[in-house]
Amino acid sequence: MVVGYFISCWLFLCLHPVHSAPQPKPTNIILVIGDGMGLAHIAIAEYLHKPPSPLQRMDVIGLQKTHSSSHLETDSGASGTAISCGVKTFNAAIGVDKDSIPVKTIMEMARDAGLKTGFVVTSSVTHATPAAFYAHVGSRGSYEDIAKQLSYSEIDVFVGGGQKYFTDRYSDSKNLLKSLEQSNYEVIRFGDAPSKFKLNKIDKEKKIACFTAYEDPRRATEGRNYLPSMVSETIDALQKRSEKGFFLMVEGSQVDWAAHANDQEWLALEMQDTYDMLEVILDKVDSTSNTLIIVTADHECGYISIQ
């Protein structure tokens, strides 16, 4: 297993190797993003977590600049695009460069190379960070357009909220859940029986669209706790479908939202949820799996400080 803790992205790693000795290319890549997660946010989790923390178990650390092409203060659209596409763009942009020209994402590259692909988030599946890995729009708020692009993205497994953008649409009368089913997806709707969320039991010939909320998923302070278990289920589902390997993006989305709200309890629980998910990944991915794990943040949020 190749393990790295990066405040960076895999593109930076490929362009600037940390080790002089040749390293085997990973078969699988798991990219974990703590949205809005700065060093102070990490410190909160480090103080609360029993050592050794997931980050202390990792081998390498790096840094990146996440500012957009238009502002020193980036947003999740521009920073997500920088991570997924390797280019700077303007705030609110998704999967396009600073001239609004679509740029191929790492998830699309992985798909075209024959790898299986997936993502798990605690936001809507159409939110800025996940969208930056499969969509190409000038505004992160174009949720219905982003949902349409997700419905034909051929991503093998995706998990998150936002079912409404596929069913109750203002821009057209399409039911994109039916479109997904017609494209060989097993669609798990919000409100389905818990047994349906066992992704590993689904026929491996099927892709999986799993909705955890009608709009945004609940806060961790309201009892939301699916991130660790669904990441485990998704890894199993991708491995079951994979011959060449897989690319998985996981986002602790609501770290950002809690920081925006200046809600310390919410933030602490979101960071705990993220750490629990990282523990699952590190325990699940053994030394023979040839998996590169990258942990990063897209930007820092909330002016959080440690006194």
| Dist CA 94 CA 77 (whole Å) | 5
Q: Is 76 a residue of the active site?
A: yes
Q: In one letter, which amino acid is 176?
A: L
Report how far residue 170's alpha carbon sits from residue 133's, in angstroms, rounded to the nearest whole number.
24
Q: For residues 240 and 198, what is the distance between their CA atoms, to the nearest angstrom?
A: 13
Pair of tokens at residue 296: 């990063």
Cα-Cα-Cα-Cα torsion 168, 169, 175, 180, nearest 10 degrees, comes to -100
**Residue 234: other Cβ atoms inside 10 A:** 25
- Rounded Cα–Cα distance for residues 204 and 117 (Å): 13
| 252 DSSP β-pair partners | 34
Residue 9 has phi, psi (to 5 degrees) of: -140, 170
- Which residue of the set 53, 69, 70, 76 is catalytic? 76
Q: Do the Cβ atoms of 4 and 64 come closer than 8 Å?
A: no
Residues 147, 149: Cα–Cα separation, whole Å: 5
Q: Is residue 50 a contact partner of residue 8, using CB atoms and an 8 Å limit?
A: no
Catalytic center residues? 76
